[in-house]
Amino acid sequence: MDLREVFATNLRRLLHAKGLSQDDLAYEAEVSRSYLSQLEKGAFYASLKIVGKLATVLKVEPAELLKLPPKRSMRRK
């Protein structure tokens, strides 16, 4: 999984979990909503500065945005 995809997946998950809209997060993190949208789609890489700003607003450690998802166990048939 590409790091942009990992970041985008975690960003969407945390936005949903915190009950924030893109507009709210963009405003609080002082980034444009269109830029945030591109990050959420995995189209752009985020700088460390942006990762830090988003993590602060989401009240998580920056590493939480870069964590690989747990591997799914294979189902037995």
DSSP 31-46: --HHHHHHHHHT-SPP
Segments making up each domain of the chain, as ranges: 3-65
How confident is the model over 4-11, as a mean pLDDT?
95
Q: Distance between CA 76 and CA 62 in Å, rounded?
A: 36
Res. 74 pLDDT band, cuts 50 70 90: low
CA dihedral 38, 25, 69, 52 (to 10 degrees): 90
Whole-angstrom distance, CA of residue 74 vs CA of residue 72: 6
pLDDT of residue 36: 96
The fold of 3-65 is: 434 Repressor (Amino-terminal Domain) (1.10.260)
Rounded Cα distance, 23 and 56, in Å:
16
Amino acid of residue 36: L
State the pTM of this model. Answer: 0.85
Local confidence band at 37 (pLDDT 50, 70, 90 cut-offs): very high
